[in-house]
């Protein structure tokens, strides 16, 4: 059986259909994308912005315990990666609005699926944690 390598994968390859198709050299770039969309605050910001355009203070209030520094950093990362757009309206003070880009709307599909799965599996995860903690405590 032939092993995939970065040399055998055409650059214009549009879709990977299984993990077997992922060459080792691609894993890092996939990891970079997943690190952004898998981050707790990124997911929550994307979820909030799925409701529509929001100002920074609206986002901060909606997210609760997030610090201003973490929210700023999260929004910058999401903007840099193309999930969020930032619009500054000149006023005093300046008005800054954030909204999802088409890429941001696209990522909602797997994020929602993962969130629904997490909600449906919450009890199983709690039971597994309790069993692990009990076993670790008894060791």
Q: Is the pLDDT of residue 11 over 60?
A: no
**pLDDT tens per residue, range 55-103:** 999 999 999 899 999 999 999 999 999 999 999 999 998 889 999 999 9
40 within a domain of the structure (yes/no): yes
63 within a domain of the structure (yes/no): yes
Secondary structure (3-state) at 100: strand
* E strand segments, 16-80: 54-55
Task: Report the distance separating Cα 44 and Cα 50, nearest Å.
Answer: 10
Q: Which residue has the higher pLDDT, 74 or 114?
A: 74
Task: Report the distance separating Cα 28 and Cα 106, nearest Å.
Answer: 21
CATH code of the domain containing 93: 1.10.10.10
pTM of the model: 0.72
**pLDDT at residue 32 in the model:** 72
Domain of residue 82 covers 21-138
8 A C-beta contact, residue 91 and residue 56: no
**pLDDT at residue 5 in the model:** 42
Provide the domain count of the chain: 1
6 within a domain of the structure (yes/no): no
Q: Label residue 17 by pLDDT band (50, 70, 90).
A: low
1 within a domain of the structure (yes/no): no
């Amino acid at each position: 059986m032939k092993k995939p390598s970065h040399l055998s994968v055409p650059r214009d390859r549009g879709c990977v259909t299984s993990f077997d198709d992922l060459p080792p050299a691609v894993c890092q770039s996939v990891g970079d994308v997943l690190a952004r969309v898998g981050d707790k605050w990124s997911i929550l910001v994307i979820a909030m912005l799925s409701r529509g355009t929001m100002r920074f203070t609206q986002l901060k209030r909606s997210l609760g315990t997030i610090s201003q520094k973490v929210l700023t950093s999260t929004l910058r990362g999401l903007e840099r990666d193309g999930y969020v757009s930032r619009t500054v309206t000149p006023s005093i003070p300046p008005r800054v609005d954030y909204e999802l880009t088409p890429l941001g709307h696209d990522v909602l599909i797997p994020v929602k699926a993962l969130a629904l799965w997490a909600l449906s599996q919450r009890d199983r995860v709690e039971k597994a944690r309790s069993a692990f903690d009990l076993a670790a405590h008894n060791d």
